[in-house]
Amino acid sequence: MPVLHNRTPVTSPAGVTVDPREPVTRLLRDLRVDETGLSAADAARRLERHGPNVLPRAARAGLLSAVVRQFTHPLALLLLAAAVLAAVSGTTELAWAILAVVVLNAVFALVQERQAGRAVDALGRYLPPHARVRRDGAVLSLAVAEIVPGDIVLLGEGDRVPADCRLVSGALEVDAAALTGESAPVDRDALALDRAGRALDSPVLVWSGTACVGGSAEAVVHATGSDTEIGRIAALTRRRGVEQSPLERQVRRVAYLIAAIAVGVGIAFLPLGVMAGLSWTEAVIFAVGLLVANVPEGLLPTITLALAGGVRALARRGALVKRLSAVETLGSTTVICTDKTGTLTAGEMSVQEIRDSTGAVLDGPGPELVDAVVACSTADLAARIGDPTELALLEMAAAAGADVRADSRDRRRRALFAFDPRRRAMSTLDAVADGHLRVHVKGAPEFVIPRCGKDVAESGPVVAAIDEMTGGGLRVLAVAARDWPDSPAPGRDEAEASGLRLLGLVGLLDPPRPEVPAAVEACHSAGIRVHVVTGDNGRTAAEIARRVGLGVDRVVDASTLDTLPTDELKALLAGTGEIVFARTAPETKLRIADALRADGHTVAMTGDGVNDAPALHHADIGVAMGRGGTDVAREAATMILTDDNFATVVAGVEEGRRVYDNVRKFVLYIFAHAVPEVVPFLLFALSGGLVPLPLTVLQILAVDLGTETLPALALGRERAEPGLMERRPRRPGEGVVDRRMLVRAWALMGTVSAVLGVGLFLLVLVRAGWTPGADTSTGSPLHHGYLQATTASFAAIVACQVGTAFAARTDRTSLRRVGLTSNRMLLWGIAFELAFAAALVYVPPLQDVFGTAALPVWVYPFLLVMPVIVWGADELFRWAGRRRDRGPAASAVTGRAGSRAGTHEPGRASRSWSGEARPGQRQA
């Protein structure tokens, strides 16, 4: 359904629905208040009815439910089942060890994920603690929580608006960037004609949590608490809980598949054990062994630790991630919806273009223009206090060598007429170098130009220059002056009357961050589209988008978007280009994110303002700015950029892809060992018991929880493979486990390892004098030989693990390109694996527990060549795959050319007059 934002209806004390944009006299009547304010008794009644002016806190999931969620994960359930089975088989020590793995993993994940979900608390911090309110004809300082609809509040420079209000007198300049996304302050005037398309743009309304940067006014409160705009945003932020990431969904599916296979195989082979002559107890232990062999005990903690490693790596690159699974989700991003202000741009105004009185472009400001912008200002550049536009003008003057100190300016000032939102201009009377007085005026061209004489007002070049500058997304100020005789200081009307002399036109812009174009190019290379979703006007946003390299096909205003049916919105987003969505409200951003996600996209939403919080919370990945962003955005987001650098989003995508690749690598590594662990039990069953069990349950657990773990963790730390950021994003629903992985894991490396392990087992057993069906039980002459044979089988699996670990380091390329010793952690992991296996084989107490015996020396040459055989088989498989792909597909490599959002002409650029060059700017 379309969403409309043109009216903000509220309920009056009489129960009548009122519109805050209606005429003031009617609004005051409907709210039952006059210029003296509410009485204390009436205010108390309204407070009881409407409640305190605070934002309600969202109910959070309890600790118990969070703990239960961690322990009911399918892999956690499999691990718990393995612990129970280990206990049933009499190995309580290993049962406790498995249980410890489950508990530690759950605690670690719980601590990480409980850091999220505090957005509403941060929204509450946007409300000031006290406000000036008129009640019973007297001005009081009241706690903001006590303000009610109908209160008359007094607002001035430096105040934060305590509730949603309608101005009844006066005028204000308001910084609403956190709410609307506009970087420049906006004018609000009680007498303005309200023709705005949406309530947020109304010139007579001010909103809770926004800041007054100039002027003074009185306003009547029409909404408090959760009924305010910021309260509505809080409700939107709470609307959606945390969804599972693609990796979490895929791991859950894999876990259920593994569970089904494990249970199915265990049940199916239980009667085979009985048929082979085993007692029911022995048959149960046999089935337990099969089940344990199929359970990847090390998978869940390895995934958790790999994601945690990704979190740490991102932190080093300037991004803080609050949910472990978000690291992987970043890697699957297909669309980034980015805010403009403070994300693509620096979040501060900068002079981009200067024109003289004829409209001609200047290389730099003239001395009179510099003197005028310094004199006609109330900002303090040294303290960074004042209007962002004035600070930008002072930076321009400072770069030109002017004295911009506030005390120097104030010493020569004779009169100040502060910025008037009605006139959209300010003026000063100042002493100049020759001792005379001069009036300086700066403001909107439509106010200043007509006062510069008919010749200037009707000048085609000047009008064309203004149109060209505004068409380029610049905010244009006209600066003028006139000499004043040494007589009493003029009044405002007299000072700003006709007879002004135009000194020049100044174009300002919140400029793009210098690193953003390269980041956008990297997104295009990675097959990621970037849409701009902003509360700012479309012309300015489109200009910024083009300057950073986005292929903007169209600009869609929220008023148009909100009336689009859902199917038309999906069709719009399904196009190949990139879009600027302008003047968007929080609901609009949610619609865009939902439409993209419904089409199968993984959406990353960036932003820094209060108005971004619902969309940040609702997207697959919400990315907030850490320095310039609001507390609200930071709390609602999944990832926070500590350097406010859009390029860090791209680094996050790269890190996410690396983590996902590495998850696949250690899943391959872990899966490859299932075959040599299961085959011995199948051999035992299919031989009808003629061949004794080549591997015990305890030895399987020693592999899964001991020798396997550190190399798997080391694979999670692999560096990114070449061309990682030139691939297309993963297809929606593409699993961690695919057919090719299963071929490598089970049909190739697993089968080779199983053949080598069983072959060595039989060789050792035969050399000990065994014949099929011979007794190998405890006390028999062949028992020691049998222990050596099972130990050889165990050692063969460990040796094959080494080869599998090196093979799993790369999916396509050769190990030579990756580097044999580039992963030092893997080398240490293999060293631990071999030392652990040696301890099980040679330490007497461990021999008793795990049923091992010292190996004869002649076995070791066989063990030494096994890693090379396993790795070599996979290397040949990958080589054949590269040869097969070295056809027409090679020209696309990973589809880089086809994945770009378009080839983009750089937007028109300009020079920065703050003393430093900015990339991609036009030479004046």
Q: Write out the catalytic residue numbers.
A: 339
In 432-528, which ranges are E strands? 437-443, 475-484, 501-509
Q: Give the strands of the sheet with 552-557, arranged side by side.
A: 319-321, 639-641, 621-625, 603-607, 335-338, 529-533, 578-582, 552-557
Q: Cα–Cα distances in Å, from 851 out to 296, 700, 798?
A: 22, 12, 16
Residues 6+ apart with CB under 8 A from 771: none
Nearest 10 degrees: CA dihedral of 356, 359, 364, 365? 30
Residue 553, helix vs strand vs coil: strand
Q: Are 903 and 577 in contact (CB under 8 A)?
A: no
The Cα 661–Cα 56 span in angstroms is 42
**Alpha-carbon gap, residue 188 to 206, rounded angstroms:** 7
Contacts of residue 766, defined as CB under 8 A and 6 or more positions apart, other chains included, come to: none
What sign for the dihedral angle of Cα 262, 266, 272, 277? positive
φ, ψ of residue 480 to 5 degrees: the values are -140, 170
First to last CA, the chain: 48
Geometric angle at alpha carbon 105, from 99 and 107, rounded to 5°: 100
Place of tokens 């071999």: 834
How far lies 99's CA from each of 95, 104, 248, in Å? Answer: 6, 9, 21
**Region for residue 170 given its phi and psi (left: phi exceeds 0; alpha: psi -120 to 50; beta: otherwise):** left
Give the Cα separation of 526 and 334 in Å (integer).
9
Compute the residue count for the chain: 924
Give a three-class secondary structure readout of 786-844: HHHHHHHHHHHHHHHHHHHHHHCCCCCCCHHHHCCCCCHHHHHHHHHHHHHHHHHHHCH
* 775/230 Cα distance (integer angstroms): 80
**Max alpha carbon distance in the chain (Å)?**
125
230: burial class by Cβ within 10 Å (0-12, 13-18, 19+)?
buried
| H/E element, 213 | strand 211-223
User: How many angstroms separate the CA atoms of 793 and 695, rounded?
Assistant: 7
Nearest by Cα to 623 from 600, 602, 652, 595 = 652
Query: Crossing angle for the helix pair 74-88 and 280-294, nearest 10 degrees?
Result: 150
* Cα torsion 568, 569, 574, 575: sign: positive
Residue with structure tokens 């805050």? 20
Taking CB atoms within 8 Å and a gap of at least 24, the contacts of 805-808 are 805/669, 805/711, 805/714, 805/715, 805/829, 805/830, 806/867, 806/871, 807/744, 807/749, 807/870, 807/871, 807/874, 807/875, 808/665, 808/666, 808/668, 808/669, 808/672, 808/715
Q: How far is CA 25 from the centre of its chain?
A: 47
Pick the closest to residue 712 from 309, 327, 306, 325 (CA basis): 306
Phi, psi of 455 (to 5 degrees): -60, -45
